[in-house]
Amino acid sequence: MSKVIILNSAPVGLITNPKATPLAVQYQEWFYTLFERGYGVILPEIIDYEIRRELLRANKLSGIRKLNQLKSEIIYLPITTEVMLKVAELWAQVRNQGKSTADNKALDGDVILASQSILVANYGHEVIIATSNEKHLSIFIDAREWQEI
């Protein structure tokens, strides 16, 4: 079994930030230690979408270049039919339990991310989602503040 880190929006936003803010630098240093510690790193398509749409809206070309570079350096996990079937199942399940991660009419990227992560775990990998808000994701799978990994 391999250890896998799946990146959520906030960490990816920090690595694609062209400004060397203290937090972005701290994240980038953390990110590169993952490989040294034996983790595989995954960029899910839903997170690429969430980051890319804002970079495009704001015309942040440097950020787009950094996102494309990141996408080519780590494992990219596309959204598949298998993922979307799992999303529908999880979405209904949590709402039947009286919980939710987004408005009922929202696409709900957290459930898409959770579904991709669960499927990776089902293939025998130890999965942790690196995030800055573990509340919604930890309903489904191991999600931790990126600094705690």
Q: Which two tokens stand for residue 53?
A: 């749409």
Q: Classify strands 126-131 and 3-7 as parallel, antiparallel or unpaired.
A: parallel
What one-letter code names the amino acid at 135? K
pTM, full prediction: 0.88
In what side-by-side order are the strands of the sheet with 3-7? 75-77, 39-44, 3-7, 126-131, 143-145
In Å, what is the CA distance from 140 to each residue of 34, 83, 113, 117?
23, 14, 10, 9
Catalogue all structural domains in the chain, each as residue range(s) with its CATH number: 3-148 (3.40.50.1010)
| Residue 106 reports pLDDT greater than 60 | no
pLDDT in tens, 10-54: 889 888 887 778 988 898 899 999 999 999 999 999 999 999 999
